Amino acid sequence: MTKSIPIYQPFLKGNERKYVLDCMDSNWISSKGKYVREFEESIEDFVGNISATSCSNGTVALHLALLALEIGPGDEVIVPSFTYIASVNAIKYVGATPVFVDSESDSWNASSNTIKNKITPSTKAIMCVHIYGNPCDLDPIFKLAKKNNIKVIEDCAEALGSKYKNEHVGVKSDISTFSFFGNKTITTGEGGMVFSKNSDLIEKVAHLKNQSVSQEIAYWHDLVGYNYRLTNIASAIGLAQMEKVEEILESKRNIASLYNFYLENLGLSFQEILSESVSSYWLNVVKTPSKSALNRIKGNLTQAGVEVRPAFPLVSKMPPYREMASHEFPLANEISETALCLPSYPGLRESDIQFISELITISINEE
């Protein structure tokens, strides 16, 4: 049997069309218009105890966060090697040096144990990435950062809805970011958000993203700024998405539970989530016993019309960064080479999960 099951597709079941048409009818289609601030406020309300400002994508959100912390040439930023490349590229944009660390074998995240030996007098910040929505163990990292007087940035691109000890991830760090790309938990097509409990930092980000234009003198710019604004149309989609965010997250939790049920006792493993944490389950990613098992599973699923994708390759292996990596990262490398991302969109049906799981079971038993 052949189906067509994508790895992800957005959940556009609310007021997206209505709000976008309202933008068009009002002629407010660019970066001015009521939906920009309403979307930002919806994020502030959802996360709690933060200020937020939107931007054009998740990568520039990280760039703005680093700029706001005044990180630049001569500074080092600790970052996991097992992450999407945007986390690392943003560090290079400001002229700082990324310092790669390994991942934990259970959570697949960086931790205080993988970070502590990489701190030097040049370390300015630690970038925590909640990989696939699974929260890092933050308190030991915060303790390490405080001891060494360094900043913490949280890359929450995949972690909208993730919680650590009853608080949304990103709240306790110096500054944090979201991504709203088309395959994220909620989407604006392309979009991002920078947020922090420090409202002065967010005001600084808002100034930088808007070409650093003066609020008093027309067309006067007091800093080198950036055109990183989010449009009113994108924000309208985002606001409609946020009206459905709890429904989306509940669906994704149910999908994760079903995958765990149908794939148990096969020698596969999922990320371990701390008992005091809640994952957004942005993607359900399964670690296979070997590369050969991964290739069989991937081949059978692809042939049956099920879209899958590999786990992130290590950024430290990529041409722009391989000379910066002082050594190998064996735990992260094993995850990267044997894990597979499965369909995880909110509208995925249980019958589709059963179909996918049966093919995986057959693939495992072929060995």
Q: Is residue 269 part of a domain?
A: yes
CA–CA distance, 199 with 303 (Å, rounded to integer): 51
The dihedral through the CA atoms of 24, 58, 283, 316 has a sign that is positive
pLDDT number for residue 367: 66
Q: Are residues 303 and 182 in the same domain?
A: no
Tens of pLDDT, residue by residue over 32-62, are: 999 999 999 999 999 999 999 999 999 999 9
Q: Are residues 21 and 161 in the same domain?
A: yes
Q: Are residues 294 and 320 in the same domain?
A: yes
Q: Is residue 1 part of a domain?
A: no
Provide the domain count of the chain. 2
Q: Is the pLDDT of residue 132 over 80?
A: yes
146-to-102, 151, 174, 202, 211 alpha-carbon distances in Å: 21, 8, 11, 21, 33
* Owning domain of residue 148: 16-242
Q: Are residues 23 and 79 in the same domain?
A: yes
Q: Is residue 11 part of a domain?
A: no
CA dihedral 365, 287, 295, 83 (to 10 degrees): 170
Q: Are residues 61 and 188 in the same domain?
A: yes
Q: Is residue 179 part of a domain?
A: yes
Q: Are residues 238 and 251 in the same domain?
A: no
Q: Is residue 296 part of a domain?
A: yes
CATH code for the domain in which residue 334 is found? 3.90.1150.10
Nearest residue to 46 via CA among 315, 266, 238: 238
What's the whole-model pTM score? Answer: 0.97
CATH code for the domain in which residue 116 is found? 3.40.640.10
Pairing of strands 51-55, 76-80: unpaired
Residue where a domain terminates, one of 200, 220, 242: 242
What's the rounded mean pLDDT across residues 108-118? 97
Confidence of residue 327 (pLDDT cuts 50, 70, 90): confident
What's the rounded mean pLDDT across residues 148-175? 98
Is residue 74 a contact partner of residue 125, using CB atoms and an 8 Å limit? no
Q: Is the pLDDT of residue 352 over 70?
A: yes
CA dihedral 285, 287, 288, 289 (to 10 degrees): -170
Tens of pLDDT, residue by residue over 293-324, are: 999 999 999 999 999 999 999 999 999 999 88
Q: Is the pLDDT of residue 1 over 90?
A: no
Q: Are residues 42 and 174 in the same domain?
A: yes
Pairing of strands 76-80, 123-129: parallel
Is residue 126 a contact partner of residue 146, using CB atoms and an 8 Å limit? no
**325 vs 74, more confident:** 74
Residue linked to tokens 């924000």: 235
Exposed/middle/buried for 225, CB within 10 Å: 0-12, 13-18, 19+?
Answer: middle
Other beta carbons within 10 angstroms of residue 142's beta carbon come to 15
Mean pLDDT (the chain) is 97
CA–CA distance, 282 with 56 (Å, rounded to integer): 20
What's the rounded mean pLDDT across residues 77-104? 98
CA–CA distance, 97 with 111 (Å, rounded to integer): 19
Q: Are residues 82 and 101 in the same domain?
A: yes
Q: Are residues 188 and 261 in the same domain?
A: no
